[in-house]
Structure 1
Amino acid sequence: MAFRFALVGIAATLTHSAVALGLHGAGLLPALAANVAGFLTAFGVSFTGHHFWSFAALRGTSGTAARMRKFFLLALAGFLINSGTLLGWLRLTDWPESLGILVSIAIVPALSFLGARFWAFRAHPSSPAS
């Protein structure tokens, strides 16, 4: 389960990074707005991968919509940590904004795994985990 989570997470992180850095690097959006666009795009990759692959064995009776709501709240919490880190980077350093985007993306994965495993994708207690 952790290996699958890591692979999906890497795909989502690469998506987030590519979208955010691409939009910012092309001058289409400032760093924070580009980071939001990257997050929203990566959410689709992340939820789909985790729902159908990483945590499929835990599906139980929990519906897709309920899992998506929980996972979105979890992802949103991670994104708020990510954005706060980026905002601090932008305000407190004169280092490259693109490096700040990458650092802020890298800090959330461990928290996301724990929240996904034990809350968002947890099978209903009365249902079997397979």
Structure 2
Amino acid sequence: MSHGFMIKNRYRNLSFWRELVTATRFGLVGIAATSVHIVVVWLVLNQAGSNLFSANTLAFAIAFGISFLGNYIWTFRSPGSPRRAMFRFFLISGSAFLVNTLILTFLVHGGWFSPMMSAIFSAAVVPAITFFASRLWGFKYNGKDLDSVNAEMQNSTCDKEKALEP
């Protein structure tokens, strides 16, 4: 085996583990945001007596704040401008919310589940949609994610060090 092949293979393994860590962090943030979403829907429905769609909208807004902060700071480690990332994440989340609301409406009006079970199911769909859109577009820094930028910087440093070797 050539040295170059081993380095490429090691880099692929490193990339895989990096992606797995990113997906795990995103999942944990998503679980937290989804849990808050469900609790807020339950509280607003059962304690305030509001309607389901108002409760879902309020819950989504609160979950959005948790999700953005968790993903911006922890999952994707503050890539680029927070304003741009928030705008993009808002577009992604708004689209996911639209899908969430359509699913919720379909399930409630179809009469298949109770309003609470319908809200749980529709809220569970949002993290999957937002992960792929966030990873591919929402939290990119100049067209790249921060891990790619850091890896490029590290590789260029290694190349410079090799050039200085006798």
User: Scaled by the length of structure 1, what TM-score is found?
Assistant: 0.91
> Computing the radius of gyration over CA atoms, which structure comes out larger, 1 or 2?
2
Matches within 5 A, 1:44-83: 44-56=65-77, 59=79, 62-83=80-101
- The aligned counterpart of 2:16 is none
Equivalent residue in structure 2 for 1:129, among 142, 149, 152: 149
Q: CA separation in 2, counterparts of 1:38 and 1:55?
A: 24
Match of 1:14 among 19, 35, 38: 35
Q: Which runs of 4+ in 1 moved over 4 A?
A: none
Distance 1:8 1:35 in 2: 19
Q: Which has the higher helix share?
A: 2
Q: Is the 8 A contact 1:86 1:101 kept in 2?
A: yes
C-alpha RMSD over aligned residues: 1.7
Percent of residue pairs identical = 31
**Residue 102 of structure 1 corresponds to which residue in structure 2?**
120
Q: How many residues align?
A: 127
Unaligned runs of 5+ in 1: none
TM-score, structure 2 as length reference = 0.72
1:91 is displaced (CA, Å) by: 1.1
The answer to whether the aligner puts 1:43 opposite 2:64 as a matched pair is: yes
Higher RCO structure, 1 or 2 (CA under 8 Å, sep 6+): 1
Cα deviation, residue 94, structure 1? 5.5
